[in-house]
Amino acid sequence: MAMETNMVGWFEIPVTDMARARSFYERVFGIEIQVHRMNQLEMGWFPSAQGKPGAAGSLVKHEGFYYPDREKGPVLYFSCTDLQEQLDRIPGAGGEILQPKKLIAEGMGYMALFTDTEGNRLALYSQK
């Protein structure tokens, strides 16, 4: 089967405190997150670049449906120019560094693991 798009088309990061999570991601990445309420669901949309590679996504809060988890489940990687810039902001924004920047393999780039203010385990990726 030929692929017309990337396999991942959307991501959602569970949160328990939307204001705290929004502040964390805005500080770490230097972006603005737009929050939208849809009945019991609250979403904080990450900015997206239409027509560019990568998936768009959102912070999501819905009591009884979304649960942050530091130890289980998939890991989402945020692409960066040089991940050290974002990694340096994580502690000051209320997150925790789990794995400092490390080389994946020659020619493969670098990665780092962290937790956000909600307890989610996430990662950063860059070629530098």
Q: What is the pLDDT of residue 1?
A: 53
The answer to whether the Cα torsion of 13, 18, 21, 24 is positive or negative is positive
Residue 3's pLDDT is 60
Q: Find residue 97's DSSP bridge partners.
A: 114
pLDDT at 123: 96
Backbone phi and psi for residue 22, each to the nearest 5 degrees, phi listed first: -60, -45
The residues pairing with 78 across neighbouring beta strands, listed in sequence order, are 124
pTM comes to: 0.87
Superfamily (CATH H level) for 10-126: 2,3-Dihydroxybiphenyl 1,2-Dioxygenase, domain 1 (3.10.180.10)
pLDDT at 96: 97
Provide the pLDDT for residue 4. Answer: 67
> Which ranges of the chain have pLDDT less than 70?
1-5, 7
DSSP the chain: ---SS-S--EEEEE-S-HHHHHHHHHHHHT---EEEEETTEEEEEPP--TTSSS-EEEEEE-TTT----SSSS---EEE-SSHHHHHHHTGGGT-EEEEEEEEEETTTEEEEEEE-TTS-EEEEEE--
- Do 118 and 15 form a contact (C-beta atoms < 8 A)? yes
pLDDT by residue (tens digit) across 92-120? 999 999 999 999 999 999 999 999 999 99
